[in-house]
Structure 1
Amino acid sequence: MTLDLRVFTEPQQGATYDDQLAVAQATEKLGFSAFFRSDHYLAMGGDGLPGPTDSWTTLAGLARDTSTVRLGTLVSSATFRHPGVLAVQVAQVDQMSGGRVELGLGAGWFAREHEAYGIPFPDKRFGLLTEQLEILTGMWATPAGETFSHHGTHYTLTDSPALPKPAQEKLPVIVGGGGPTRTPALAARFADEYNQGFPELDSVAPRIGVINDALAAAGRTPESLVQSVALVLAVGKDEAEFTRRAAAIGREPAELREHGVAGTVSEAVDLLGSLRDQGVQRVYLQTLDLQDLDHLDLVAREVATQL
């Protein structure tokens, strides 16, 4: 089985549109399958200058400034946008890209960014997420010329034309999270992909088993869902280059080796090969230094070719 490698960025830490465009175009040129970004409005440490960029505004630009690479969020927060508006935004960006968009959606967790930008942050958000997934998938699946209605606890949509439609017949939806029962059931009900975000490495295979059990309970096969993980990336052609890259993102080499795709090229190949053998089909490589395009070039030339 070939392991699918994607580039994942955190622009809220400080990145212009042009910074992200350079990484997205390098992602495309180097043969990674997708450029994904977080959906946050506040830096987590540091000043975040020049400030955040909205994820779906950014992806709309990238839809026109790239040609083949897939684009998406890991993950958009259900607290940020009304689902009816999000359905329009995502469908439009999918059209603008020629059918290259994927939507990762989660319940949201970063209370401080909500306070900073005046976004409501209810204590209980799983119901919001569930209804948003019901609405998004329901609107996109409604045949043209028919209407969609939803009357739930959090949202009411009445006779929506459910337009526009995505360019893709089935726009991929990604669900993640670590809950023991509700999240696996949600993934089994709605998702095309389940993502483990920065897991402890020894927990990956057991979690895949939990998700597969939820799929079976929902009458789905394991093959119907892509299993993915997101892990920080820091790889060097030798120890000195790895150490330099670790310092550039403010992380300790030993800690990176314990939690990420990190170290020398051979170490990265071994780790990714182990994840593939455990059932992981896709890895999102969290790329934190957006100026270091040589990093991605090294991974594309020396790591991906050995997988």
Structure 2
Amino acid sequence: MELRIFTEPQQGATYDDLLAVARCAEEAGYGAFFRSDHYLKMGAVSGDPGPTDAWTTLAGLARDTRRIRLGTLMTAATFRLPGPLAITVAQVDQMSGGRVELGIGTGWYAEEHTAYGIPFPSLGERFDRLEEQLAVVTGLWATPPGATFDFAGTYYPVSASPALPKPVQDPRPPILLGGMGPKRTPRLAARYADEFNLPFASVEDSAAQFDRVRAACAETGRDPGELRWSNALVLCCGRDDAEVARRAAAIGREPDELRENGLAGTPAEVVDKIGRYAEIGSERLYLQVLDLADLDHLELVAAEVQPQL
């Protein structure tokens, strides 16, 4: 089981805050630093000093870190056109020396779209657009040097594209898809994903959705063993109950609720729950860290949980 760090900067963080977490995660031996792609806070927090752009952040981290992998959970397909997105991700992959991963989804948070003038079509259209985005991004990356790429899309037609630049990673940066949609999500994952991720889902719900994706793979003739399987859970670990309670209070949550719905408790409790996800085939856990100033939290899990996995 690989542990990765997952942050939510729209809740209030500067680039320097994120850099400190990414460097701490790198030195502590975590597999990756991921961030959300949102332009508006959620809940009662202030969100100060305001949002930061996901791919601008990752471009900076590409130069300010050395080893840790970098990615998004999840880039909203509504935010970016697929051609420029393919260019951006390829460029950040080059800047990082081949350490970038693209998590992408339909986009879901209507209020951030209205707050910043971003169109927000119906869910069905957002899925249609996501499917075309995946076709364009992967098609551009897969086009041989010297050839051109064409795509007869409804929303994103492409003609005679030179399909440049190319990412460093071969055949491409890993693509992450996820979510609990029962039909289109598994089909898109079976066709395009290198990793399938479920955020904030129980062991039971994760197992059921993993099975749907495996069934979709079987329908398309793809070996489900080609996919990596992962979950994302909010982290609240402490050396004792008092420290767990302090960390839960810092993010406005209750310890018992976090033990039920997140990854919370003492290191022994956390290891036990990770084991339950491992039993259903999960291979990676993205630890959602909400208090970005508490770097001791990351160091505790690295020292007392990670060696037991």
Q: Does TM-score exceed 0.5, indicating one fold?
A: yes
Q: Distance in 2 between matches of 1:158 and 1:278?
A: 44
Q: CA deviation digits over 1:104-124, x for unaligned, max 9?
A: 000000000000000000113
Give 1:17's aligned residue.
Answer: 15
Q: Distance in 2 between matches of 1:14 and 1:276?
A: 32
Q: Does the CA-based 8 Å contact 2:233-2:262 persist in structure 1?
A: yes
Q: Does the CA-based 8 Å contact 1:59-1:71 persist in structure 2?
A: yes
Name structure 2 gaps, 5 residues minimum. none
Letter in 1 for 2:82: P
Give 1:234's aligned residue.
Answer: 236
Give 2:71's aligned residue.
Answer: 72
Give 1:48's aligned residue.
Answer: 47
Secondary structure of 2:49's partner? coil
Secondary structure of 2:305's partner? helix
Structure 2 residue 249 is the aligned partner of structure 1 residue 247? yes
Q: Cα offset for 1:97?
A: 0.1
Q: Does the CA-based 8 Å contact 1:201-1:259 persist in structure 2?
A: no
Identity of matched residues, %: 62
Q: Cα offset for 1:162?
A: 0.6
Give 2:109's aligned residue.
Answer: 110
Q: Does the CA-based 8 Å contact 1:63-1:96 persist in structure 2?
A: yes
Secondary structure of 1:102's partner? strand
Aligned to 2:27, which of 29, 33, 40?
Answer: 29
Q: Does the CA-based 8 Å contact 2:203-2:280 persist in structure 1?
A: no
Q: Distance in 1 between matches of 2:145 and 2:292?
A: 41
Structure-2-length-normalised TM-score: 0.98
Q: For 1:183-202, list aligned pairs within 5 A.
A: 183-202=185-204
Q: Does the CA-based 8 Å contact 2:234-2:262 persist in structure 1?
A: yes
Q: Distance in 2 between matches of 1:44 and 1:215?
A: 35
Secondary structure of 1:194's partner? strand
Letter in 1 for 2:49: P
Q: For 1:125-140, list aligned pairs within 5 A.
A: 125-140=126-141
Q: Cα offset for 1:164?
A: 0.3
Q: CA deviation digits over 1:101-149, x for unaligned, max 9?
A: 0000000000000000000001131001000000000000001110011
Q: Distance in 2 between matches of 1:204 and 1:75?
A: 18
The two structures, once aligned, show a CA RMSD in angstroms of 0.7
Letter in 1 for 2:306: A
Letter in 2 for 1:65: D
Q: For 1:282-297, list aligned pairs within 5 A.
A: 282-297=284-299
Give 1:301's aligned residue.
Answer: 303
Give 1:159's aligned residue.
Answer: 160
Q: Does the CA-based 8 Å contact 2:86-2:140 persist in structure 1?
A: yes
Q: Distance in 1 between matches of 2:298 and 2:221?
A: 39
Give 1:6's aligned residue.
Answer: 4
Q: Cα offset for 1:219?
A: 1.1
Q: Does the CA-based 8 Å contact 1:80-1:119 persist in structure 2?
A: yes
Q: Does the CA-based 8 Å contact 2:236-2:247 persist in structure 1?
A: yes
Q: Distance in 2 between matches of 1:212 and 1:156?
A: 31
Q: Cα offset for 1:156?
A: 1.2
Q: Cα offset for 1:221?
A: 1.4
In the TM superposition, structure 1's runs of 4+ consecutive aligned residues that sit over 3 Å from their partners are none
Structure 2 residue 192 is the aligned partner of structure 1 residue 168? no
Secondary structure of 1:105's partner? strand
Q: Cα offset for 1:200?
A: 2.5
Secondary structure of 1:125's partner? helix
Q: Cα offset for 1:171?
A: 1.1
Q: Cα offset for 1:207?
A: 1.6
Structure-1-length-normalised TM-score: 0.98
Q: CA deviation digits over 1:63-115, x for unaligned, max 9?
A: 00000000000000000001011000000000000000000000000000000
Q: Cα offset for 1:205?
A: 1.5
Q: Does the CA-based 8 Å contact 1:265-1:302 persist in structure 2?
A: yes
Q: Cα offset for 1:277?
A: 1.5
Q: CA deviation digits over 1:194-233, x for unaligned, max 9?
A: 0111112321212211111111111111210001011100
Q: Distance in 2 between matches of 1:150 and 1:204?
A: 34
Letter in 2 for 1:104: G
Letter in 2 for 1:84: G
Give 1:100's aligned residue.
Answer: 99
Name structure 1 gaps, 5 residues minimum. none
Give 2:179's aligned residue.
Answer: 177
